[in-house]
Chain A
Amino acid sequence: NAGVTQTPKFRILKIGQSMTLQCAQDMNHNYMYWYRQDPGMGLKLIYYSVGAGITDKGEVPNGYNVSRSTTEDFPLRLELAAPSQTSVYFCASSRPGGEETQYFGPGTRLLVL
């Protein structure tokens, strides 16, 4: 199993541009999450999904959109990028049950200039 994969690894965007961060998992997990991590800060939840077709906002959803058309994929869309969205983005997945451990991808480093 590849686990959780994310693309791209690094991207530079200009202010106002848009992009999609890709996330895929091959563990048949129902739950998927998007976090951002800023220096000295904890992971902050942007959006999460409990299954295909179901998404919900986390702590910091403004400026982002998500969709979940399949169990495997959970892309994160940035519209009109702003410098405040410079961060490292992590995707995670988990299977609800007795041990709801989250498995994380390697991250996407985004720089908005």
Chain B
Amino acid sequence: EDQVTQSPEALRLQEGESSSLNCSYTVSGLRGLFWYRQDPGKGPEFLFTLYSAGEEKEKERLKATLTKKESFLHITAPKPEDSATYLCAVQANTGNQFYFGTGTSLTVIP
């Protein structure tokens, strides 16, 4: 069964304190792994797509990496505006569905 688990559920960081969010997945052939940011009361906003182990992508203070079993979202020197819930999703080769994790709620304290 395709499954996505994110950890931690919640994370509080001081401004400038770097950390990583984890997304572990079980899927029968990975087509893609996706990271989204979701602000309260809004729809998820796309951040990154990763397709194969070893791939890395960066955007401002965020960097996403992928292995055969998990992905990390590294946040370098976060700012309060990075506070949001970060969602991970996978799509399998065998179908059109996306499977989402429950998210990590990030709070960055000034």
**Pairwise interchain contact A40-B98, C-beta atoms closer than 8 A:** no
Interface class of chain B by DSSP: strand
Interface size class of A (residues with CB under 8 A): 20 to 34
A42 to B91, CA, bound (A): 15
Q: Is A83 among interface residues, defined by CB-CB distance under 8 A?
A: no
Binary interface profile of B, 17-60, with partner A (CB < 8 Å = 1, else 0)? 00000000000000110101000011111100100000000000
Q: Which of B41, B42, B49, B87 contacts A43 (CB 8 A)?
A: B87
User: Number of B residues whose C-beta is below 8 Å from A?
Assistant: 23
Binary interface profile of A, 43-57, with partner B (CB < 8 Å = 1, else 0)? 111001010000010
Shortest CB–CB separation between residue B97 and chain A, in angstroms?
Answer: 6
**Pairwise interchain contact A40-B34, C-beta atoms closer than 8 A:** no
Binary interface profile of A, 9-29, with partner B (CB < 8 Å = 1, else 0)? 000000000000000000000
Q: Which of B46, B49, B98 contacts A103 (CB 8 A)?
A: B46
Shortest CB–CB separation between residue A86 and chain B, in angstroms?
Answer: 16
**Pairwise interchain contact B96-A104, C-beta atoms closer than 8 A:** no
**Pairwise interchain contact B32-A100, C-beta atoms closer than 8 A:** yes
A33 to B98, CA, bound (A): 10
Pairs of residues from A and B, 4 with the lowest C-beta to C-beta distance, nearest first: A104-B43, A42-B100, A43-B100, A42-B102
Interchain residue pairs with CB less than 8 A apart (18): A4-B43, A42-B101, A42-B103, A43-B100, A48-B96, A48-B97, A56-B96, A59-B97, A90-B43, A90-B44, A100-B31, A100-B32, A101-B49, A102-B89, A102-B98, A104-B45, A105-B43, A107-B41
Chain B contact residues, CB within 8 Å of chain A: 4, 31-32, 34, 36, 41-46, 49, 87, 89, 91, 96-103
Chain A contact residues, CB within 8 Å of chain B: 4, 31, 33, 35, 40-45, 48, 50, 56, 58-59, 90, 92, 96, 99-107
